[in-house]
Structure 1
Amino acid sequence: MERFNSNHSDKKYLQDRYKWIQFFIERFDPLSHLIMISLFIAGHMSLVDKGVSSDALLLFIGTTVFFFKLRCFDEVKDLDLDMKINPSRPLPRELLSVFDMKDAIILCFIFENIIFYTIDLDAGIAMSIASLYSLIMYKEFFLGSWFRDKLTSYASAHTLVTILLSLSIFCAIDGRALYALDISMYFFSVVSWLLFNIFELGRKTFLESEERDQVESYSKVWGKGGAVVLVLVHACIAEVILALGVGLSSSFAKIYFNSCFVVFVLSGIYFLIKKSGRSGSFFRGYSSFYIILIYLGVIIEKLL
């Protein structure tokens, strides 16, 4: 008989922990998320102009925990569809269970709030509001499948949590309450929401030849042209707010951000005139990369 404290139980324990490592690799790629979250936080820090504080590591960990929680939300909410069209994903193939996800979600709720309250009381209060909104978001705003079927509105309501997360970060960096921040910080939080909307809209926009049965897409809802216009309008509004609301209007900012937008427009045109090939991959890739380009531009602008 195997003893509870035997080497066998140790091996089983390590195997169970490895499942989470495998989940991270597959569904929360460490490298891409490390880059995105680092630039996300650095963009906020560059606007506050208070230098790198001793709380920067805590801020990075808390923000990472928050984003990981959102990933766990999606794994649970998408499970029924993934069972049909993505059976190789971790939950459908039973690498982890729904209850494992829910345990992780609870731990994330606890740790993200502990971390932000450790940094500052006002930051903790702001994070509690963001956490509460994310929970309501997870519960589909208590509207069920009726709201989930409204793809664009549903996505925009979900990405609104980015505004609250962004404001929580500003509270942590600046040391002021949620209602007492500079107006430019509120504008920048709206830009963050628009950028994550672009990421979401762009990654689910396909050529007709790429569309899949049972897989929702914005190109199905708006048509290929409508989806591209929707993405580009978001990008245009984000750049206008950066210039007029956040105050990034130097010569460098104008050249850099306008160049990013022009490339976006060209990628959209390329996507529209092609019926097959790499245009879809390029447009979706640039939609994902655009968020990195914008935060990087904000950082460089403030360093110059």
Structure 2
Amino acid sequence: MTLAQRLWIYQSERFPLAKTLPLLACFSAASITISAVLANRPLPGLAAYGVGFLLVFILFFQLRVADEIKDAEDDAKYRPERPIPRGLVTLRLIVWLGIGTIPIGVLLALAHGAGLIWLLLLTWGWLAAMSFEFGVPKWLKARPTLYLLSHMAIMPLIDLLLTGIEWLPHGAAAPGLWLFIALSFANGCVLEIGRKLWAPENERVGVQTYSGLWGPRRAAHVWLVFVGIAALLLVGVGVATGFALAFSLIAAVGFAICLRAARGYANAPSPAAEKQIDTLAGLWVFGCYATAGFLPLALGALS
């Protein structure tokens, strides 16, 4: 196979563009939009949205590269079917591709100006620390809750960068923006835990999952707690934008759907229930960002 063919297979397995691009487009556009809406400012131009999408794409690809570095030893031992251990591509190639996106990110941040480069460097600093497990890999992996929280801290930093595309040129962020940034942290936990709630028959030696660490029932309850926190923060964003009722209805319906799925998984953690939780985690996050970013615009236009 050619290099292009091998990279295409790699992305389909490890960084699926069909699933990733819509979520990143929604995330970046919603972040920029809500920053303007909360500050009662006009929306920025299309160039700002383009910079946001490209930067978040670069950062999420670099997160994948960081995972490949961190998991290289475990993948070779326990997951030989993955693209790198089975020889489809080399770790060196993927790392160089990640490094190659750095100057692109720098140019995008400098082209936008207004000090965006400093928020990008802050985010990269945390990403670099994550890649080396903050210098204490064994200690951190022995504490899965702290591991989760420390790694998900990258999400509000990415959101600070994205919203900064809008608020940095104006000198200050809207007071209520912290609700949306906190929502990104909660949603990061929803995604991360949701993709690691497995059926018992799918658990594998050497592969750390939250269902394996805490048991299916407790893990489902923890996942639901983060969904609940995200729901409350979404309502808070609705209050800040002046559309509390609409946001509350959406949050309540979404939480009820997730509650039913979590109960189903907790009572019978089958492969079908595992897949449902994983799917709902992605839909929940997508729905939160779509609601926060675009519902105020739609309702404002109607009123």
Question: Scaled by the length of structure 1, what TM-score is found?
Answer: 0.88
1:42 corresponds, among 29, 43, 55, to: 29
Sort the Cα spacing of 1:210 and 1:15 in 2 relative to 1 into closer, same or farther, 3 A. closer
Rounded Cα–Cα distance in structure 2 between residues aligned with 1:70 and 1:214:
21
> What is the CA-CA distance between 1:63 and the residue it aligns to?
1.2
The one-letter code matched in structure 2 to 1:106 is I
> Cα deviations across residues 7-45 of structure 1 (Å, max 9, x unaligned)?
xxxxxxx92344333322221111111110011012113
1:121 corresponds, among 114, 118, 121, to: 114
Structure 2 residue aligned with 1:71: 64
> What is the CA-CA distance between 1:277 and the residue it aligns to?
5.1
Question: Scaled by the length of structure 2, what TM-score is found?
Answer: 0.88
Name structure 2 gaps, 5 residues minimum: none
1:164 corresponds, among 157, 177, 187, to: 157
Name structure 1 gaps, 5 residues minimum: 1-13
> Cα deviations across residues 156-180 of structure 1 (Å, max 9, x unaligned)?
21111111110011111223489x3
Rounded Cα–Cα distance in structure 2 between residues aligned with 1:182 and 1:146:
38
Note if 1:213 corresponds to 2:205.
yes
Larger RCO (CA within 8 A; separation ≥ 6):
2
1:110 corresponds, among 88, 103, 108, to: 103
Rounded Cα–Cα distance in structure 1 between residues aligned with 2:193 and 2:74:
19
Note if 1:88 corresponds to 2:81.
yes
> What is the CA-CA distance between 1:80 and the residue it aligns to?
1.5
> What is the CA-CA distance between 1:55 and the residue it aligns to?
2.5
> What is the CA-CA distance between 1:199 and the residue it aligns to?
0.4
Note if 1:27 corresponds to 2:14.
yes
Sort the Cα spacing of 1:176 and 1:145 in 2 relative to 1 into closer, same or farther, 3 A. farther
The one-letter code matched in structure 1 to 2:14 is R
1:257–1:297: 8 Å Cα contact kept in structure 2?
Answer: no
Rounded Cα–Cα distance in structure 1 between residues aligned with 2:218 and 2:266:
10
Rounded Cα–Cα distance in structure 1 between residues aligned with 2:31 and 2:287:
14
> Cα deviations across residues 119-155 of structure 1 (Å, max 9, x unaligned)?
1232211111111111111111011222123223212
The one-letter code matched in structure 1 to 2:262 is G
**SS in structure 1 of the partner of residue 2 of structure 2:** helix
Sort the Cα spacing of 1:157 and 1:72 in 2 relative to 1 into closer, same or farther, 3 A. same
Rounded Cα–Cα distance in structure 1 between residues aligned with 2:269 and 2:179:
38
CA-based RMSD: 2.1
Count residues in correspondence. 290
The one-letter code matched in structure 1 to 2:197 is T
**SS in structure 1 of the partner of residue 89 of structure 2:** coil
> Identity over aligned residues, as a percent?
20
**SS in structure 1 of the partner of residue 176 of structure 2:** helix
2:217–2:266: 8 Å Cα contact kept in structure 1?
Answer: yes
